[in-house]
Amino acid sequence: MATIPLNIDAFIGAALGPIAGVVTFWLLQLLLIEGQKRMLALLRHQHDAFCRFTNFVGILFQTVCHALGYTVTRSGIAAFQVTVNYGKVEPKKEKTGVFEWIAHSFLLFGPFFIPAGLVLLASYFVIGSGFSIPTVMDFTFVESLTVFGESLVRFGFAFLSFLATIDLFNPVHVGFLFVLLFFGLGIRPSYIGEERKEKIDMIHDLTRIKNHLIQKPVYILALIVIVYVFYLLSLFLNPQVYVGVFIVFGWMSLIAILALLLTYLVILLIRATDKIRPWWKTIPYMSLIVSYILARIFFLYYPRDDVETFSLLIMVVTTVVITILLIKYKRTNRFKTTTKMKHVRVADGKKRTVKKRTD
């Protein structure tokens, strides 16, 4: 165990390093969520069912986290309601003070971390690597932040390595991929209300969190004291514990970021196929499956290392090329005007052929 220097950096700065790392990744997560919401807004007029589904998942996560807050505070749950546009939880016992504040904290912060925590738990059994915490050598702000970043880099490379070598013939891998996409599409609801009267964006989230925190400054002060006491105990007993707790929160944010980036690819594919004529727009989705299966069959006869990676690469390249070609040659033109010949009956009872303009 390293010798603990008795200076300000060791007693204060080192405690703030991991917290700064978590806040940074959480803000990056918020920015990606905002970008995803804007992309979904562009799809809403053509894919309303898909957007309503993502909104439902977001409201479901919110409501479950709120219910978990009432469970932790032993308030009980009297009613639980979730719809596409609305979520509500009613406690059996109306508690005030710190218990009410904790329950609302679960509602505001829970959707960012609790579902990600469940995905993180599942990823432990799928990835099997990257879950390591480097040793803290010096008790400084820079060192603790460096240890935090190093651990997230290791985990990020392990996670990306899994995605790059994922076996789509393995039901466990496919199931985990769908869980990741499900979580990424529903981290936060994209709108509230049937007519979207209330816009839910990054500013809205931060404003609600700010109002919640400044409403009870005494609770915030108590929380700071608890965290600092925990840091001091860890400093003299096992410094890895304090850093490890915040690294786990960092892993959660990193999983959320990677899940959001995957959903970006899905949304971009949907937007790209919207530019293709209806009879042809299913081909890019079919090429995802067909090209991957054909690639795996090909490598059965011509085996090589990294079969899964090369099969994924062939699948992606094939789908991109096919989509680009379809957009170029089978593009939907909403403003194209055609002239059709139509027989109409006029006043004298005779049929005449006229030209009819259709858009």
Condensed to tens digits (0 to 9), the pLDDT of residues 130-156 reads: 787 777 766 777 888 888 888 899 999
Per-residue pLDDT reduced to its tens digit, 293-342: 999 999 888 888 888 999 999 999 999 999 999 888 877 765 443 444 44
Backbone angles phi, psi at 342, to 5 degrees: -135, 140
- What is the rounded average pLDDT of the residues 177-184? 92
Helix-strand-coil percent breakdown of the chain, rounded to 5? 65, 10, 25
Domain edge (last residue) among 240, 272, 304: 272
Report CA-CA distances (Å) from 247 to 14, 106, 347.
14, 20, 83
- What is the rounded average pLDDT of the residues 194-218? 73
Q: Is residue 2 part of a domain?
A: no
Question: What contacts 187, CB < 8 A, 6 or more positions away?
Answer: 29, 33, 36, 58, 61, 111, 112, 115, 256, 259, 260
Interatomic CA distance for residues 143 and 166, integer angstroms: 34
Domain that holds residue 99: 8-272
pLDDT value of position 85: 81
> Do the beta carbons of residue 160 and residue 6 sit within 8 Å?
no
- Where are the extended beta strands (E) located within the chain? 77-82, 87-91, 191-192, 198-199, 338-345, 351-358
Question: What contacts 200, CB < 8 A, 6 or more positions away?
Answer: 37, 188, 189, 190, 191, 192
DSSP 134: P
* 197 and 129 fall within a common domain: yes
Block residue for tokens 């890019």? 284
How many folded domains does the chain comprise? 2
pLDDT score of 356 more than 50: no
pLDDT value of position 174: 92
**Residue 39, amino acid:** M
* 17 and 83 fall within a common domain: yes
* 181 and 259 fall within a common domain: yes
Q: Which two tokens stand for residue 290?
A: 């067909």
> Do the beta carbons of residue 10 and residue 140 sit within 8 Å?
yes
Q: Give the residues across from 354 on adjacent strands.
A: 342
Q: Is residue 63 part of a domain?
A: yes
Per-residue pLDDT reduced to its tens digit, 51-88: 888 888 988 988 898 899 888 888 888 888 888 888 88
* pTM (2 d.p.): 0.83
Q: Going by DSSP bridges, is the β-strand pair 87-91/77-82 parallel, antiparallel, or unpaired?
A: antiparallel
Domain edge (last residue) among 212, 243, 272: 272
Domain edge (last residue) among 272, 294, 329: 272
* 205 and 136 fall within a common domain: yes
pLDDT > 90 in the chain, percent: 25
* 257 and 297 fall within a common domain: no
Q: Which two tokens stand for residue 18?
A: 């991991």
